[in-house]
């Protein structure tokens, strides 16, 4: 059966206009039921959450039917007809069936519905065939597309920043080393340390934790850029919100000050959520029904309300006066934990909060220093259920201030000379932020664990698939 004659099930459901036509569909059998005269197969091809009902003459296609079980892959040619069945307006009456691949009922793990998400994580190679992961990965695709569309429509250029980086001063977290040394025969220098001059790149290299520093170089030439790629953090943080490999979206804009940066972050997030509501409704409805009854209301409320904009110092006052028994104590100077962030968002304001002007000691070296000598022009966007979804700032554009700050933090000017040169030659105010793609997906899908919104999660002690 020719692939070019195949219909995607998404296009057939609701296609009353072509009822009566001969069609070909291909996909994986979700269920098989019936009696000795007639069988009903629910076939899913991944194009949409719904399966298509195939009606089979159990006498005529007896031989084929015998081999078909849950999980088998088949191709069906037949007539599209109106259906009286519940929840579907069309079905296919099979004229012929080709079995591409059987799935032994004794060992195929997805026989029944209702597996736990924990179990499905152990079969990451098969879980895309469940309704839940089909929905999540279609939404993941739609969000990736919407991100590119938003930036393209707003005059941003997609800049590919390196995954292997020679700078270990990005400051966003612990890094994975990249080396071509044989680990049991590492050449040592006079000090007894690995002699990286003999390594592949002639220097020590790491997987990137952020494309920002290189992104800034692009913004200082192209105006507005964004990166969208994998980032890596070798931190042993086993939480439902942290991955060791995650995707990050990092726009960087010349001439933007912090207020422009906040406007962009808010507009961007609202656009993405609106896009999901408009383009992923059947998947969202399924996930809402299965996991999170308030999902769609929560998404809508984001698009309908202005985000609160609040200085860190004010946020701390609210937390101190809240009377909440926080696990981690609050006070000016502490880095907020997600319990604090969620209190502000979920209990106090009941909408997203953009917290600004954090103490310089808890933020990265590149953030623009305020005149008070204590705070920097940072902005974190805090979301319900998630806490920090975006971290960003206006960047320090003053050469001397940046250099002094790097010295204070013992960051090597020798390694970062190229970054400093953007401030030496034609510096300008500029800003940017990083959105964790999987944090966004947690929010949009309503899933509770970040391992369930990426096809193959990398977390401490887990990289099998």
Binding site for ligand ATP (CB under 6 A): 172-173, 233, 242-243, 246, 248, 388-391, 434-436, 438-439
Q: Which does 77 bind (CB under 5 to 8 A by kind): Mn ion, ligand ATP, none?
A: none
**Least gap, CB of 380 to Mn ion (angstroms):** 6
Using an 8 Å Cβ cutoff, are 381 and 389 in contact? yes
By CB under 5 A, residue 436 contacts Mn ion: no
The secondary structure of the chain in percent helix, strand, coil, rounded to multiples of 5, reads 35, 25, 40
**Cβ 434 to ligand ATP, closest distance in Å?**
4
Q: Which is nearer to ligand ATP, 15 or 234 (CB)?
A: 234
Does 384 help bind Mn ion (rule: CB under 5 A)?
Answer: no
Q: Considering CB distances under 5 to 8 angstroms, the limit depending on partner class, which of ligand ATP, Mn ion, none binds residue 308?
A: none
Q: Which of 124, 71, 49 is nearest to 452 (CA)?
A: 124
**CB nearer to ligand ATP: pick between 246 and 312:** 246
Whole-angstrom distance, CA of residue 72 vs CA of residue 356: 54
Position with the least CB separation from ligand ATP? 436
Would you say 132 and 287 are in contact if contact means Cβ atoms under 8 Å apart? yes
Q: Which of 339/388 has CB closer to ligand ATP?
A: 388
Shorter beta-carbon distance to ligand ATP: residue 12 or 390: 390
Our finding on whether 134 is near Mn ion (CB under 5 A) is no
CB of 363 to Mn ion, least distance (A): 8
Smallest gap from residue 391 Cβ to Mn ion (A): 3
Least distance (Å) between residue 436 CB and Mn ion: 9
CB 415 within 8 A of CB 170: no
Nearer to Mn ion, 434 or 457 (CB): 434
Strand order across the beta sheet in which 205-207 lies: 164-165, 205-207, 177-178
Q: Which of 16, 5, 21, 6 is nearest to 79 (CA)?
A: 21
Q: Which two tokens stand for residue 19?
A: 């009822």
Q: Report, in Å, the least distance between residue 237 CB and ligand ATP.
A: 6
Residue closer to ligand ATP, measured from CB, 9 or 435: 435
Q: Which does 248 bind (CB under 5 to 8 A by kind): Mn ion, ligand ATP, none?
A: ligand ATP
Shortest spacing between CB 233 and ligand ATP, in angstroms: 5
Smallest separation (angstroms) from Mn ion to the CB of 338: 11
Say how many CA atoms lie within 13 Å of 95 toward its Cβ: 11
Longest dimension (CA), the chain: 84
> What minimum distance in Å lies between the beta carbon of 209 and Mn ion?
11
Which of ligand ATP, Mn ion, none binds 446 (CB below 5-8 Å, type-dependent)?
none
Whether 339 and 382 have beta carbons less than 8 Å apart is answered as no
| CA 398 to chain centroid | 34
Q: Report whether 32 contacts 58 (CB < 8 A).
A: no
**Shortest Cβ distance from residue 251 to ligand ATP (Å)?**
12
Question: Which residue lies nearer to ligand ATP by CB, 152 or 236?
Answer: 236
Report the DSSP pairing between strands 52-57 and 157-158: unpaired
Q: Which residue has the tokens 């101190």?
A: 320
Q: Which does 434 bind (CB under 5 to 8 A by kind): ligand ATP, Mn ion, none?
A: ligand ATP
Binding partner of residue 363 among Mn ion, ligand ATP, none, CB cut-off 5 to 8 Å per kind:
none
Cα distances (Å, whole numbers) of residue 39 to 36, 44, 78, 193, 268: 8, 16, 14, 70, 49
Q: Which one of 266-274, 309-317, 322-330, 388-396 is the stretch in contact with Mn ion (CB under 5 A)?
A: 388-396
**Which option in Mn ion, ligand ATP, none does residue 151 bind, with CB closer than 5 to 8 A by kind?**
none
Nearer to Mn ion, 384 or 391 (CB): 391
Relative orientation angle of helices 281-291 and 258-279, to the nearest 10 degrees: 90
- Between 71 and 391, whose beta carbon lies closer to Mn ion? 391
Site size for Mn ion (CB under 5 A): 1
CB closer to Mn ion out of 26 and 405: 405
Choose between 204 and 227: whose C-beta lies nearer to ligand ATP: 227
Residue nearest to Mn ion (CB): 391
Measured distance CA(452)–CA(152) in Å, rounded:
29
Contacts 24+ apart (CB under 8 A), 140-144: 140/441, 140/453, 140/454, 142/275, 142/276, 142/279, 142/280, 143/272, 143/275, 143/276, 143/437, 143/440, 143/441, 143/444, 144/228, 144/437
**One residue of 134, 391, 432, 457 binding Mn ion per CB under 5 A:** 391
Q: What is the DSSP string of 181-249?
A: S-TTS--B-TTSSB-GGGSTTSS-EEE-S-SHHHHHHHHHHHSEEEEEEEEE------STT--SEEEEE
Which one of ligand ATP, Mn ion, none is in contact with 377 (Cβ closer than 5 to 8 A by kind)? none
Select from 134-142, 187-195, 311-319, 389-397 the region that touches Mn ion (CB under 5 A). Answer: 389-397
Binding site residues, Mn ion, CB under 5 A: 391
């Amino acid at each position: 059966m020719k692939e070019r004659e195949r219909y995607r099930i998404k296009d057939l459901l609701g296609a009353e206009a072509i009822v009566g036509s001969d069609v070909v569909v291909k996909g994986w059998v979700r269920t098989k039921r019936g009696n000795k005269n007639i069988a009903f197969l629910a076939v899913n091809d991944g194009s949409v959450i719904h399966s298509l009902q195939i009606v089979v003459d159990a006498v005529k296609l007896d031989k084929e039917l015998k081999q078909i079980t849950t999980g088998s892959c088949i191709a069906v040619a037949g007539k599209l007809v109106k259906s009286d069945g519940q929840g579907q307006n069309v079905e296919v009456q099979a004229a012929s069936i080709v079995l591409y691949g059987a799935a032994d009922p004794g060992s195929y793990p997805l026989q029944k519905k209702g597996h736990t998400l924990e179990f499905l994580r152990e079969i990451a190679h098969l879980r895309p065939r469940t309704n839940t992961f089909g929905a999540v990965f279609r939404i993941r695709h739609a969000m990736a597309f919407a991100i590119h569309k938003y930036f393209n429509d707003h005059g941003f250029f997609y800049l590919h920043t390196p995954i292997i980086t020679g700078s270990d001063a990005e400051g966003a977290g612990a890094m994975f080393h990249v080396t071509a040394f044989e680990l049991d025969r590492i050449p040592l220098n006079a000090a007894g340390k690995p002699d990286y001059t003999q390594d592949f790149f002639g220097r020590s290299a790491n997987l990137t934790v952020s494309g920002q520093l290189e992104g800034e170089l692009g913004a200082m030439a192209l105006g507005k850029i964004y990166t969208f790629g994998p980032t890596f953090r070798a931190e042993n943080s086993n939480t439902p919100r942290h991955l060791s490999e995650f995707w990050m979206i990092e726009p960087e804009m010349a001439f933007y000050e912090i207020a422009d940066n906040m406007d962009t972050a808010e507009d961007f997030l609202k656009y993405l959520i609106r896009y999901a509501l408009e383009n992923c409704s059947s998947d969202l409805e399924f996930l809402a029904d299965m996991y999170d009854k308030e999902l769609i209301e929560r998404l809508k409320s984001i698009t309908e309300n202005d985000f609160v904009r609040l200085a860190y110092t004010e946020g701390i006052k609210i937390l101190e006066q809240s009377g909440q028994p926080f696990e981690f104590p609050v006070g000016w100077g502490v880095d907020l934990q997600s319990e604090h962030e969620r209190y502000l968002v979920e209990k106090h304001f009941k909408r997203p909060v953009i917290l600004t002007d954090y103490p310089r000691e808890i933020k990265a070296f590149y953030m623009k220093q305020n005149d008070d000598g204590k705070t920097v022009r940072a902005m974190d966007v805090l979301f319900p259920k998630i806490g920090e979804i975006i971290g960003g700032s206006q960047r320090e554009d003053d050469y001397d201030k940046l250099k002094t700050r790097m010295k204070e933090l013992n960051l090597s000017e020798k390694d970062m000379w190229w970054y400093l040169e953007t401030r030496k030659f034609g510096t300008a105010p500029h800003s940017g932020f990083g959105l964790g793609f999987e944090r966004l997906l947690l929010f949009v899908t309503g899933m509770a664990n970040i391992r369930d919104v990426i096809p193959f999660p990398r977390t401490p002690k887990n990289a099998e698939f």
